[in-house]
Structure 1
Amino acid sequence: MRELPPFPSLRGFLDWCGENGQLKPVPDAVPVRHRMTAVHRAVLEAGGPVLRFDNPVLDDGSRSTVPVVVNLFGTPERVAAGLGVTLDGLDDLGAFLAALRAPTPPDGMRDALSRWPMLKAALATRPKIARSGPVQDVVLEGDQIDLTRLPVQTHWPGDGGPLITWAVVLTRPHGTEADAVGRYNAGIYRVQVIGRDRVIMRWLAHRGGAAHHRSWQARGERMPVALVLGADPATLLSAALPLPEAVSELTFAGALNDTRPRLVPGKTVPMMVPAEAEMVLEGWVSPDETAPEGPFGDHTGYYNPAEPFPVMDITAITHRRDPIYLSTYTGRPPDEPAIIGEVFNRLVLPTITGQIPEIRSVWLPPAACSYRMAVISIDKRYPGQAQRVMMALWGMLPQFSYTKIIVVVDDDIDPSNWDDIAWALATRMDPARDVTILENTPMDYLDFASPRPGLAGKMGIDATTKIGSETSRDWGTVMQTDPKDAEFAAALIARHFKAPGA
C-alpha cells in the first residue's frame, strides 16, 4: 500500500519536501500576528512550497528561537505524500479504508495471500512503548512553563487571541488505563492560549474529545490530555480521516507509516504520547470550568462568536532540543483543510460505492467548504433512484449529515465540471418536480445560514434523465459525434493545423 519511505517524524517529512524542492526557508523577521498568515495564504493560493519561518516575531517584538512551519499540506500532492502514496496511489488506499469498514472473508488461499499487505498494516498499528524519546529531551514544569514564548499565531484581525491550530489532541475515556492506546481519540481541535499555562479546548459535542470529556465530567473528575504539536504526517492526517469508530487514529497512523508507532509515557499525565513529535503540552481539563473561546475566523470565511468551552491547565511542556512549531490557518477556501478535503474525497469514494453501488463518482466542491455541497454521478436504472441515493448518502457517514445540498447527475456527466453540472441542471431538472426539501436536520454548528444552531434544512436536486413513471414525455436524445467522424477530424487537424504555440 505505501509507496514512499516511512516518515516517523515531522522533520523526516520536511527533509523529503526539501529534497523534492518543496521547502522554502524564510530568513526575514515575520510577525506571528496577522502577517505570517498573510504570507502563508498568498503562497498556498499560488500552489507554493512548505514555508519555514526562521525568525518569528512575537507580540512583544522579541524574536522566537523556535522556527514556524506552515503550508505543510498546501497541495494535494503533499497530502498524498503525507499518507505515504502518490496521487495515483490514493485509490488503493481508499480501498484499504473501505475494507477496514466492511471486511469480507477471503475467497480461497490466493485471495488470503493477496491480503497480506493489509494484515501487515494492521499488525503495524500495535504501538511500541519506549522509556524515552526526542519529544522529552527538554521538560518544563511549574514556573518554567510559558506559552507566550511560543510562536503561536494570531491569524485574523478579528481573532480573540493566539490560536494553536495543528495540535493533535489525545484523550481517553474514563475507566481506561494510560496504556490502552486503542481506546484513545486523536482529534484536531482549536486551542486558544489564554495565559502562561492555560488554554481553552474547543471541541464540539459530537466530536470524540468532547465525548471522552463527558465521561470524566459525569464523575466530577478532571481529564488528562496531551496536545501533540508537530506530529508526523501520518498521525496528523489520521486525526483528520473519517475512520471507523472502532479504529484508533493514533494506532492507524502506524498502518499508514508501515511501522509500529513509538510512544512514551507522559511526564505529568497518565497518557502515552508520540516519541518523535516536536513538542507536547500535557495537562488536565477541568470538569466544570469554562472560558469564552473566540471569536476566531473559521473555514466558512466568517468569524464565529465567542462561546464557553472547557479550560485546560498545562502541567508540562516537553520538546526536542531544537523544536519546530507547526501551524496553519483556517478561512474561506482555499486553505489547508480544503486541500486535505479534496484528497479525502477520493479516499472515501470506495467506502461510499461499497454501500451505494450505483454511485460512480462524488465531488465535494472545495469552494463550498468541502462538505457543504456534493455532486454525485450515478448509473441510473429505475425511477426514484436519485432520491434514494440522496437519502442514503445523508445517513451514511457523520460528515455527510452536514451536506446541505446534493445534486445527482447521470454517469455521462463529469460531477467535478461546473459546465457539465450547469447543463444537466438546465436540461434534466424541473424545479417543481425534481427538488427535494428536508427540514430540521443536523447541520454544522458554524453554519450561520441555519435558522437555529445545529439544525437546518437540506436540498436534493435530481438532475438525472427522467425515466419510467418520472415523466409522461418522450425524452430527448443526447447529440454526439460519431467516433469515426471524430477520428477523421483529428487526423485532418493533425495534418493541416499546428497546436497553439507550436
Structure 2
Amino acid sequence: MQDVIQWLKDNGNLKIIDEALDVELEIPHVAYIEVKKEDSRPILFTKPVNKAKGIEYDMPVLMNIFANKEITEKIFDKHPDEVAEGIGELLKLKPPKTFKAKLAMVPKLFSLKNVFPKRLKFRGECQEIIIPKEEVDLDRLPVLKTWEEDGGPFITMGQVYTQSLDGSMQNLGMYRLQQYDSNRLGMHWQIHKDASHFFDQYQRAGKKMPVTVAIGGDPLYIWCGQAPMPHGMFEMLLYGFVRNKNAQLVKSITNDIYIPRDVDIVIEGFVDPEKMEIEGPFGDHTGYYTLKEPFPVMEVETITMKKEPVFAATVVGKPPLEDKYMGWATERVFLPMLKPMAPDLIDYNMPENGVFHNLILAKMKTLYPGHAQQFMHAFWGVGQMSFVKHAVFVAEDAPELEDFEELVKYILNRLDKSKILITQGIVDHLDHSSKKQFVGGKLGIDATGDEVESGMEALLDDSELLAKMQQIDSNIVALKQYMIHTRNPVCVIAVKKERSMRELIKELKVLKSHLKVLVIVDQANNDITDPYMLIWRVVNNIDAQRDVKLKGFIAIDATNKNSMDGYKREWPGDTFCTKEVLDRLQQKGLIDIDETFIKKFGLLPF
C-alpha cells in the first residue's frame, strides 16, 4: 500500500472531486453526507483552498478512507475475525510437552518475529522534504474546519506518537489537534489516555515532552491509533500482527520518537507542561460539541513530508460516520481479549448510533443467577470498556446481535425491573450528561432469563394515549409507541420542556396501566418516528442515576438538562450543517440530498 491513492482507485471505488472547495465547511460537508450513504465511497479532493486566507494548497485531501465494511476488510487484507482468531490462539498458547508439539509451535513462534516494529537507521520517504523551525507554517497544510461553531481548524486524523519519560514505552493515539496559529497545536489527549499519563510524568519532572504527529501512510496506522490496546503496549505491535510484517519506523528529525517511514506528513515538536491553552469547542463524534477546556499546547519544531504528500482527514458528528466501520473492525479484533475476564462471553456489539462507549449489547452463556450482573461489573472495570454507560446482556438463544429489530423484541419480552442494575462509575471525557465530569451513572440490563409473565394491562392506541397525557400536561406534543406486541412496549413522547421531567413522570403514574417503558425527549430536533436517531439521543442524554426511574413503570428522561434538573454544567449543542453551504454544494451538483435525508440524519435544526 505504498500508493494509497492508487490502491483506493483499484480497490475502493475512489471518488475524485476536482472542483476547488474550501477546507472550511465545504470539504467536510461533502464528506459528512457521503459517509451517510449506503454506498459510501472514499473521496479525494484535489483542489482544496482556504478562501478566507486566500490559500490554494498544493496537496490533496483524502477522506472517508474507511468508507464501508468491504473496504475496511480490504485494508486489513482479511476479515477482522481472522485477526481475532489469531489473537485468540496466542492467548491460549501453552508450553509444549512433547517434541512433536514443539515442532508444531515453531511456525507460530516464527511468525511472531514480524510483530515487532523495526527501527531503521536511515531516513524515510516521510522525510524527503524537511521544513526547518524558522520556516514552519501550519497554513501549508489543508487543515479542516468541520463545523461552524468549531474553535478553529482541526487535524482530525493525526497519528500522535509519544513516549514515556524514561523512553521505555511508546504510544500511538488518534487525538484531534486544534491549529492555533502557524506553529502551535492544541493537544486534546483525554485524561484517561496513555499520552496524558506520559504527560503527567513530564509535568512532575518539569521537562518538556516530545511529540511527533504523523498524517497519512498505510490506513492501518490510523486504525491502530484508535485501537484499545492494554496500557503500555505499543500499537505498532498490532500493525505487525495484522500485516504479518514489521512496521518500519524511522527516527524523528528533532526528537527520539520513531514513526512509520511511509507516512505522508510529520509534525514534530514538544509540549511544555507549564503551558495550557483553551481548546475547542469542537463538533465531536458524539454528535455534540465538546466545550472549551484547557489542554496542553504543542510547539512545532519542524515539519517533514513526502515529495507529493496526501493530507488524510476524517469528519465527525452524528452517526453514521466513518468510525462505524473502524469501530466494527475494533469490536471484532478485540473480542478474544475480553474473553479472559468474561470467559462465557459469546459475542458483543457496540452500535454506532450508541456512539460505541454509550451502549454495548452482549451475548453470553448464563450458568448461574447473577451471572449477567457479574459480567456488568467486569466490563465496567476493564480498560476502555470501563467507559461504557449502558450494557444489555442476552442469552445464547437470542437473535444475532446485529439483527436489531428481533433483538429488541427479545429484550423487551424479558425486561424485568428487578434485573436492572443502576450504579456509578467512570464515564468518557466527552460524556456531557453526568452531573460531574468523568463520573456518572451506569445502567445494566439482564435480559438473559425467561420471558416475563405480565405484559401491558391495557394497551391504548397512540392518539388515545396522547389525549390522556395532554390532559395531564399540554406540553406533551407528540407520542409514538414501539414494539406494542411485546411484554414491554416502548412509548416515546416529545415535550416542550418548561419544568423538570421528574414532576411529569410522577403525574403520569396515573396512567401506569397503559405504560411499561416511557421515554421522554425534547420536541426540538427529535423525530419520534426515527428509532435510529432516538437511540443516539437517549444514550447520549441520560445519566442513569438521575434520569431512569423504576417505580410504577420504567421512565427515561432523555431531554436536554438544565438548572431545572439540578444540572449546573453547560449543556452542549448538536452538530448541525450550515444551510448555506449545503445549498451551495447542492447547486454545484456535488451533493444530492432532499428534505427526507436532511431530517433523517439531523443535518439541520427542526
Q: TM-score range by the shorter chain?
A: 0.7 to 0.9
What's the counterpart of residue 47 of structure 2?
Answer: 55
What is the alpha-carbon distance in structure 2 between the residues aligned to residue 117 and residue 27 of structure 1?
49
Q: Secondary structure of 1:45's partner?
A: coil
2:445 is aligned with 1:452:
no
**AA matched with 1:80:** E
What's the counterpart of residue 275 of structure 2?
Answer: 289
1:43–1:49: 8 Å Cα contact kept in structure 2?
yes
What's the counterpart of residue 332 of structure 1?
Answer: 318
2:156 is aligned with 1:165:
yes
2:119–2:258: 8 Å Cα contact kept in structure 1?
no
Runs of 5+ in structure 2 lacking a partner? 454-606
1:231–1:277: 8 Å Cα contact kept in structure 2?
yes
Deviation by residue 1:432-483 (Cα, 9 ceiling, x = unmatched): x1111112x100121111111000111111112249xx99xxxxxxxxxxxx
Deviation by residue 1:377-398 (Cα, 9 ceiling, x = unmatched): 2222322222122222222x32
1:95 pairs with one of 56, 81, 85: 85
What's the counterpart of residue 143 of structure 1?
Answer: 134
1:121–1:256: 8 Å Cα contact kept in structure 2?
no
Identity of matched residues, %: 29
| Equivalence map 1:228-239=2 (5 Å) | 228-239=214-225
Q: 1:458 and 1:108, CA in 2 relative to 1: closer, same or farther beyond 3 A? A: farther
2:15 is aligned with 1:30:
no
The farther-off stretch of 350-359 and 278-287 is: 350-359
Q: 1:465 and 1:273, CA in 2 relative to 1: closer, same or farther beyond 3 A? A: closer
Runs of 5+ in structure 1 lacking a partner? 1-6, 472-502
What's the counterpart of residue 580 of structure 2?
Answer: none
What is the alpha-carbon distance in structure 2 between the residues aligned to residue 174 and residue 21 of structure 1?
41
What is the alpha-carbon distance in structure 2 between the residues aligned to residue 104 and residue 241 of structure 1?
26
**AA matched with 2:150:** D
**1:113 shift after superposition:** 5.1
What's the counterpart of residue 235 of structure 2?
Answer: 249
Q: Secondary structure of 2:56's partner?
A: coil
Q: 1:272 and 1:419, CA in 2 relative to 1: closer, same or farther beyond 3 A? A: closer
How much is the aligned-residue C-alpha RMSD, in angstroms? 2.3
2:283 is aligned with 1:304:
no
**1:140 shift after superposition:** 0.4
What is the alpha-carbon distance in structure 1 between the residues aligned to residue 229 and residue 8 of structure 2?
27
Q: 1:110 and 1:245, CA in 2 relative to 1: closer, same or farther beyond 3 A? A: farther
What is the alpha-carbon distance in structure 1 between the residues aligned to residue 197 and residue 42 of structure 2?
34
**AA matched with 1:175:** D
2:186 is aligned with 1:196:
no
What's the counterpart of residue 356 of structure 1?
Answer: 342
Q: Secondary structure of 1:465's partner?
A: coil
**1:273 shift after superposition:** 2.2
**AA matched with 2:436:** R
What's the counterpart of residue 486 of structure 1?
Answer: none
What's the counterpart of residue 482 of structure 1?
Answer: none
**AA matched with 1:63:** E
1:428–1:463: 8 Å Cα contact kept in structure 2?
yes
What's the counterpart of residue 483 of structure 1?
Answer: none
What's the counterpart of residue 388 of structure 2?
Answer: 403
1:101–1:244: 8 Å Cα contact kept in structure 2?
no
Q: Secondary structure of 2:205's partner?
A: coil
**AA matched with 2:447:** A
The farther-off stretch of 368-377 and 278-287 is: 368-377
**AA matched with 1:53:** F
| Equivalence map 1:57-206=2 (5 Å) | 57-58=49-50, 59-85=52-78, 87=79, 90-99=80-89, 103-106=93-96, 108=98, 112=102, 115-116=105-106, 118-124=108-114, 125-176=116-167, 183-206=169-192
TM-score normalised per structure 2: 0.71
Q: Secondary structure of 2:85's partner?
A: helix
What's the counterpart of residue 503 of structure 2?
Answer: none
2:413 pairs with one of 419, 427, 430: 427
Aligned length: 451
